[in-house]
Amino acid sequence: MVRWTKIGSATSRSLLALAAGAAAASCAGPPPRAPAATGAGAWSYEVALDERAETLAITGALAPTASTELTVNEGAEPFVGGVEFSAAGAPWEGVEPRDGSWTIPACARGCRIRYRFDLRAAAEALDADDTATSLHGVLEAPPATWLLRPLETRDEVVTWHVTAPPGVAFVTGVHGVPGAADTYRVAARELHLTPYTVMGRLRTRAVDVGGGAHVTMAVAAGKLAPTDDMLAAWVARAGRAVTAFYGAFPIDGTMIAVIPTRGRSVGFGRTMAAGGASIMVNVGRDTGAAALDADWVMVHEMIHLAFPSMPRERVWIEEGLATYLEPIIRARAGMIKEEEAWRGFRDMMPNGLPAPGDRGLDRTHTWGRVYWGGALFCLLADLDIRQRTKNRRTLEDALRGVLEAGGNDAVRWPLERALDAGDHAIGVPALRELHARMGSEPFPVDLDALFGDLGVTLVGGRAVLDDSAPLAAIRRSMTAPFAASPAAAAAR
């Protein structure tokens, strides 16, 4: 197991003997497509959109609950209006908010509620993806923004059915209830994390991403040079590459919202997941086929779907994985050449090195350490696993193990559980040991020595690859085409 570490001003590259024996993961099976309606009770809602998808009329039925204080996502409270309740068949009564919540003692025994939510006003006032925003003709707001519910949760299940007038679409990444059209379900404890939901004039289609999985592509109305067929091919190409790497698409039924913006290329992307998953991505109105072919954003966002959601201080592993794997997956899928992947690593990886005052990845949250420090962790882990197993196991195998244990972006795990699941899959404790060294300590790395061993140098801004370098064979295997791997069959 080789480490490329710097000690003082001198370079030390030595074989470190670390404790053997992999920690067994506590591996649960994959999560069900939607939670079963069991436990303390259920909250069910009827949601009606108006003809512009600007106002929601909502009626809810709440099972008996320990909490009589009802609320919505922070910031959305002013846009809830006309709240009324009825208990045990009694007439409807109005209730006014106090300090941003509605207290209804009768709901302790179960009650019905009804109210309006001004989605247009919320979107214009808040303009935040995770609460409410207006996106070039459509409105976006996760369900937790507009579903009024008890502040405290136990084991309740939340179900809602949506009706919309002709020409208006409601598209979400939350899993649907099998056999119930336009009906969605999520555990109440996950409601505040539910994914992006878009409403308005949208074109939708199912896109095959390989392995029997599909995503729903929703395109907002507006001028766009690429046709829906071109956009679907772009999504499918990225999805099939991710499926080939992981052996399965991470979250079947993910919603991909395409938002037209200014420009000639793919812009910013963002992912949310709980009880399902959604990706929103900006696409410039004048984007051409070449720009879609060259895009990296869609692959990056789809990689986020394949690892558990982490606490804020551990976001470096989520961003690091997406930063590291995106060029690897695209090179293996034939989207870019091997040289391009390694040029990016050689050029950008120095951003991930610890600076003075660094306290390790878990406690240093600068841009460079989160994205490229996380990517450096992944590169070192991949090389370590390959060397310790004589290239029979890789970081890919570890990440497949995490996904097979149920660890996708729709669940929240401690980092230690995810690392243990990965180590269990490869049979060596590589991930746990590397985290012990990099999580709370700076752990400098001699990148010149590392890339020298891999046979990667930059000449005039181009990557030159030396196949006689000590680790050249491992480097080549890292970007070997999917066609040479059994994983390729899973993507077809």
pLDDT tens track for 391-428: 999 999 999 999 999 999 999 999 999 999 999 999 99
Contact 81, 96 (CB under 8 A): no
The bridge status of strand 157-163 relative to strand 102-103 is: unpaired
CA distance 206 to 267: 22
Predicted confidence band of residue 193 (pLDDT cuts 50, 70, 90) = confident
User: Which pLDDT score, from 0 to 100, does residue 88 have?
Assistant: 85
Residue from 142, 225, 151 nearest 186 by CA: 142
Whether 484 has a pLDDT exceeding 60, the answer reads no
User: Which pLDDT score, from 0 to 100, does residue 413 have?
Assistant: 95
User: Which pLDDT score, from 0 to 100, does residue 22 have?
Assistant: 29
Neighbouring C-beta atoms of residue 206, cutoff 10 Å: 11
Higher pLDDT, 6 or 421: 421
Contact 91, 84 (CB under 8 A): no
Mean pLDDT over 11-27 rounds to 28
> What are the pLDDT digits (tens) for 67-91?
899 999 999 999 999 999 999 889 9
Whether 24 has a pLDDT exceeding 70, the answer reads no
User: Which residue carries 């779907």 as its tokens?
Assistant: 305
Mean pLDDT over 35-58 rounds to 79
Residue from 170, 141, 144 nearest 158 by CA: 144
CA distance 34 to 140: 22
Whether 288 has a pLDDT exceeding 50, the answer reads yes
Whether 40 has a pLDDT exceeding 90, the answer reads no
357 token code pair: 């005052």
User: Which pLDDT score, from 0 to 100, does residue 221 have?
Assistant: 86
Whether 262 has a pLDDT exceeding 60, the answer reads yes
The full set of domains in the chain, from first to last, is 33-200 (2.60.40.3650), 201-305 (3.30.2010), 308-491 (no CATH)
User: Which pLDDT score, from 0 to 100, does residue 489 have?
Assistant: 44
End-to-end alpha carbon distance in the chain: 35
Mean pLDDT over 85-109 rounds to 93
- Scored b (16 or more CB within 10 A) or e, 54-93 reads bbbebebbbbebebbbbbbbebbbebbeebebebeeeeee
**Mean pLDDT estimate for the chain:** 89
Mean pLDDT over 484-488 rounds to 45
Mean pLDDT over 95-114 rounds to 94
> What are the pLDDT digits (tens) for 144-191?
999 999 988 888 899 999 999 999 999 999 999 999 999 999 999 889
Whether 321 has a pLDDT exceeding 80, the answer reads yes
CA distance 220 to 45: 26
CA distance 371 to 177: 36
Which class for 9: exposed (0-12), middle (13-18), buried (19 or more C-beta within 10 A)?
exposed
pTM metric for this prediction: 0.88
Whether 487 has a pLDDT exceeding 70, the answer reads no
Adjacent-strand bridge partners of 457? 464
Whether 330 has a pLDDT exceeding 60, the answer reads yes
CA distance 361 to 120: 40
User: Which pLDDT score, from 0 to 100, does residue 15 have?
Assistant: 25
% of the chain surpassing 90 pLDDT: 83
Higher pLDDT, 116 or 17: 116
Whether 12 has a pLDDT exceeding 50, the answer reads no
User: Which pLDDT score, from 0 to 100, does residue 5 have?
Assistant: 55
**Phi, psi of 388, rounded to the nearest 5 degrees:** -70, -25
**Host H or E run for residue 486:** none
Predicted confidence band of residue 6 (pLDDT cuts 50, 70, 90) = very low
* Least confident segment among 232-241, 304-313, 476-485: 476-485
The amino acid present at 283, given as its one-letter code, is: V
User: Which residue carries 């808040």 as its tokens?
Assistant: 126
Adjacent-strand bridge partners of 184? 160, 176
User: Which pLDDT score, from 0 to 100, does residue 16 have?
Assistant: 28
Contact 42, 130 (CB under 8 A): no
The bridge status of strand 202-210 relative to strand 149-150 is: unpaired
> What are the pLDDT digits (tens) for 265-280?
999 999 999 889 999 9
